[in-house]
Each structure stands twice: as C-alpha cells, then as structure tokens.
Amino acid sequence: MVDATTSTSEDRSIGRGLRFAGIVWLASRGYFLAAAGLMALLHRLPSHPGTPAQWPFTVYSRFDAGHFVRIARQGYFATDNGAPAHDEAFFPGYPLAARFLAQLVGAGSGSDAPFLVAMSLITSIGALVSAVLLWKLTAEVSTPTVAHVAVAVLLFGPYSVFLMASYSEAPFLAFALAAWLLARNGRWWAASAAASVACVIKVNGLFLVAGLLVMYCVSIRQRGRRAVRLEVVSFALPLFATASYFWWLHTRTGSWTTWFDEERAGWGRERVAPWTALANSVGQVFTAGTPHVQSCLELIFAALLVGCLIVLGRRGQWPELTYVGLTAAALLTSTHYLSVPRSLLVCFPAIVVIAQWLRRPGSRSLRWAAIAGATGVLLLNTFTFMTDRWTG
C-alpha cells in the first residue's frame, strides 16, 4: 500500500511538472511573438520572407538560419552572392530534417519560406521536448521545485532567443537530454542511438558521448560489475555518426580538415592557449573605442561556465563535468570567445546548477539582482537579434 501511494504521488508530481514545462514553453513562444509584433508595429523590424501566415515561423529566421536554409535547399558547397558561404561548418542533421519536413509544407514554391517554416517547427518542438526532459532530469537529481526553476531558466534565460530562432540548439538539446536520461536508466543502446542523432546535429555531440562514457564507467564501478562488451560497442554509434560527416567532406574536398578549415575561414576560429583566448576576448571589448556589450557578455558567461565547472567538480559529478568541461575547453581555447552564452543552452548540467543556486536559501538580494540582470539581457538580446545585430 505504501509503495502504491508513493508511486501515485510521484506520477502526480511528474504530471504537474510536465504541464508546467508545457505552460512555460507556451508562454515563451507568446513572449517572443509579442516582442516581434511590437517591434513590427514600431517599424523596427527588417524585412522577412514568406506570407503573413508564415510570419510567426519566419520572423526569427536570421543570421545562421541563412546557412541552414541554404543547405536545406541547395546542399553543401553553395555560394553566397558569389562568395564562399562556409556552410560546411554546420552539421547536416538539422537542415536535412528541415528539407524532409519542407516537402510537407510546400517546398515546391521556389522560395525559402517553406524551409524556414520547417526549421521553425523543428526548433519549437525541440524546445518543448527539451523543457520536458530537463524538468524530468532536474527532478531526479534535485527537487520538483528546482526543476520548475530550471525550465524557466532554459526558456526565459538571457539567450533563450536561440530556442525560438531557426537554430540547431533546441533539437540538439532534446536528443542530448534524451540520451542522458536513457543512460541514467542503464539503457545504453537507446542512449547511444539518441546521442547519434545529436552527433549529426552539432559537433558538441562528441562531448556528450564522452560524458556518457564516463557515466558508464562510473556505473560499472558503483555496481561492482564488469563492462558488457555489447554496451561498450554501442558507444561506437555516435562516433560513427560524426565520423561519417567528416568522411563525406573528405570525399568532396580530399581533405580531412575541411570542417576546421571552414571554421577558421568563416569565423576566424583556431585553437590557441586559453590565456591567449582570454586576452583576445578582453581586447575585443574595446575594439571600437567603446565597450561592446556582447563581448562583455561573452566574458561574463565564460566566468559563469567556469563557476559551474568548479561546482560540478566539487560535487564529484564526473559525467556532467566531462560534458560541460569539454564544451568549455573548446570555447575557451578558441581565438576569441564566440557564442559562449549560446553554448550554455546545451550545457544542461550547468542549467541545473544555476537553478539550484537560485533556489538555495539566503542571498536573496543577490538572487534577485541576477534575475533582474538576466531579464534585462533577455530583452536586449530579443531586440538586437530581431534588428539583425550580432547577439552571441
């Protein structure tokens, strides 16, 4: 009787959590569309493709969305007004899924709009699934209350605009969280399958696989058993998924470093010492003689990322530390800090740490100051992104 009562209570808690995630997701969609509508009324929005009916799906299609829609329509190695487009720096999972979905919404129209609609749908579904899975993961490792905060941090965080825009963060995060939850339950083949999808969406999938492998090693040690050969073999699936894209680029260019070359040519990204990257990033703050807001935010979020790593290390959360740590290592050894805040969106262990900090007792004034600052940055980033200014 006790077990049945406990199970019923847990089911109700999960049900409330899932409803909460859905409500916050709807509220976030409403916020972003209302913000876009307000800016349109004030004549502050640049033009966008598509019909009025397609406006909710295309209005947030800016910046990298151009790369994705070009891949979806033309494939790789296309040009942008006669110049190299550097589309090869983007993994194929997201744009190819958009191409498939666009066939259902009118890809034969000859315009970008059906592809942008498809990309927007994939992003929105990915954001919803991510919110639900993040709630479940956080509730398992902490409390339902902290899980509520984690969902709010994800969907209304300073850079949550990238979970509304036609970017690949949302679908990647959905599959990454699915892989993590499946691995926590010992379903290693299913976890590897989900991780394989993540690996064809973003290169960050490799960091995810490393975290899952550490989780497997930890689980073996805790349970005092030997590794199962078939379970170990399952980790080859996501590695093969990433390797397949690099192999395909090699067949087209004859080079195994095409992806790295495109990163360098398009965005100036190269591997440097962490202190060099920090110095370059600090220097970028005053490149125009006045402080550049997004460059300042890159430094702030880099510090936040390092802080989360320290917390994970002190707690001995080795799988989470591996995943977030490798992500941080890649970001903080680039020529300069670029898209560090956006990358925190897919570092779900860091989001859990932030949610736990926001719910801890004491430091109320500091907590409210952080919430106010995050809200201000959210409003700023919504405006800058929608007006075609670099947002991060």
pLDDT tens string 241-297: 999 999 999 999 999 999 999 999 988 888 999 999 999 999 888 775 556 889 999
pLDDT at 56: 87
pLDDT attached to residue 269: 87
With a pLDDT cut of 90, the percent of the chain lying above it is: 69
Mean pLDDT of the chain: 90
pLDDT tens digit string along 287-306?
755 568 899 999 999 999 99
| CA distances in angstroms from 121 to 21, 125, 163, 231, 332, listed in the order given | 18, 6, 11, 34, 32
Out of 42-51, 84-93, 177-186, 317-326, least confident range? 42-51
pLDDT in tens, 200-225: 999 999 999 999 999 999 998 877 66
Helical segments of 142-235, H only:
144-155, 169-184, 188-199, 205-223, 229-234
Spell out the long-range contacts of 374-382 with Cβ–Cβ below 8 A and sequence spacing 24 or more. Answer: 374/157, 374/158, 375/156, 377/158, 377/159, 377/297, 378/156, 378/157, 378/158, 378/159, 378/160, 378/161, 380/293, 381/158, 381/159, 381/161, 382/32, 382/35, 382/161
Q: Give me the pLDDT at residue 228, please.
A: 72
Q: What is the mean pLDDT of residues 306-334?
A: 97
Q: Does the pLDDT at position 53 exceed 70?
A: yes
Confidence (pLDDT) at 97: 95
* Dihedral Cα 366, 371, 377, 383, nearest 10 deg: -150
Where along the chain do its domains lie?
2-386
Residue recorded with tokens 């290169």: 203
- Cross-strand partners of 334: 271
